[in-house]
Amino acid sequence: NTKILFVKRPTGQLIPNETFRITKEEFDTNIPDGHLLIRSVYLSLDPAMRGWMNDARSYIEPVKINDVMRGAVVGEVILSKNSKFKKGDYVQGTLGWQKYAISNGKDVSIFSFPEGTTLLQSQGCLGMTGMTAYFGLLDIGKPKAGETVVISGCAGATGSIAAQIAKAVGCRVVGIAGSEEKCEWLKEIGCDEALNYKDKDFAKNLSKATPKFIDVYFDNVGGDILNLCLRRLAFKGRVVLCGAISQYNEKEPKGNFFLFIILNFLGPSAYMTLISMRAKMEGFIVFDYAKRYSEARKQILEWLNSGKIQQKETIVEGLENAPNSLLHLFEGKNIGKLLVKVSEE
């Protein structure tokens, strides 16, 4: 079995060969009663993984040193001593960065989406990514038809699904991403405008693209882009705080050093528009919506079938490449959902 262990907490920039260690050990098929042996097929790579490495208060415990790195997997049951599962079932769960996992059956669920859906979708628009986009946009952002929705990190996994949901509910969508290629793709999937934040005229372009200001800003990146969008908020605008990837590897403050030492937090500075525009900002964690996942899946499936949503993936081959590939998220090398193919479907 190949496992990737989390061996050292990074401070600031993630350095894969310091943070992780790859181990190979004898493959043991001797599993206890009630358990199953699972062969991992796709491992999801997520920006949140960087947060799980910090020894800090959060919505989930940090990964422990020398544990298998945490990660969501879809895989095939190759041996079952649990009556609820049989050999050949596909299951999903937080099985970690390893080729084979042993589960007691309580931490996995059978992948049983309707005909025509794929394992890749189970890790994307029908998985956590889709749930995040759906509840973040609709439940927190509450967009109404005709409103302007701006989405950062828009060519990534969550952003691209959120953009298509916003179009499906009748909004005008402005996507923000880090390359011309990504912006072209955003137009193809229906964004009314797509802006490259690396363009020197980005701030001007954002103003031009939002003549009626921003009703909903779905924020995946934080930092300067959040600040610029705060300044463009419309009356009663809503800011959905989904993530802040631009900040996850920051060790040093970009603003006031002493405040950073006290608060250990990098926050937006242009928040005063919230007052003048009677606007609000709200964070959320997708897990809080677990009871409503089936509602979201049903709706996303309908949109998939009617062509209103499409999913794109960037797939990396081989578990050994997971540590270096995690950096792709921070370097913008992925379009759509980033996954590691651990073994054949």
User: Rounded to whole angstroms, how far apart are CA atoms 244 and 153?
Assistant: 10
Choices 6-14, 114-122, 254-262, 282-290 (CB under 6 A): range interacting with ligand NDP: 282-290
∠ CA 80-82-83, nearest 5°, is 110
Beta carbon of residue 128, minimum distance to ligand NDP (angstroms, whole number): 6
Among 48, 72, 95, 234, binds ligand NDP (CB under 6 A): 48
Site for ligand NDP in 72-101 (CB under 6 A): none
Site for ligand NDP in 120-149 (CB under 6 A): 129, 132
At 96, give phi and psi (nearest 5°): 85, 175
Choices 1-9, 64-72, 75-83, 241-249 (CB under 6 A): range interacting with ligand NDP: 241-249
Tokens 């499936």 map to which residue?
A: 301
157 lies in the binding site for ligand NDP (CB under 6 A): yes
Which residues face 150 on adjacent strands? Answer: 174, 217
239 lies in the binding site for ligand NDP (CB under 6 A): no
175 lies in the binding site for ligand NDP (CB under 6 A): no
Q: Whose CA is closest to 6, among 66, 75, 87, 46?
A: 66
53 lies in the binding site for ligand NDP (CB under 6 A): no
Site for ligand NDP in 289-328 (CB under 6 A): none
Which residues face 280 on adjacent strands? Answer: 238
If the CB atoms of residues 210 and 334 are measured against ligand NDP, the closer one turns out to be 334
Among 5, 14, 19, 46, binds ligand NDP (CB under 6 A): 46
If the CB atoms of residues 165 and 242 are measured against ligand NDP, the closer one turns out to be 242
Amino acid code (one letter) for 258: F
User: Rounded to whole angstroms, how far apart are CA atoms 247 and 260?
Assistant: 13
49 lies in the binding site for ligand NDP (CB under 6 A): no
203 lies in the binding site for ligand NDP (CB under 6 A): no
Number of residues in contact with ligand NDP, rule: CB under 6 A? 30
The residues that touch ligand NDP, with contacts defined as CB under 6 A, are: 46-48, 129, 132, 153, 155-159, 177-179, 182, 220-221, 242-246, 284-286, 329-330, 332, 334, 338
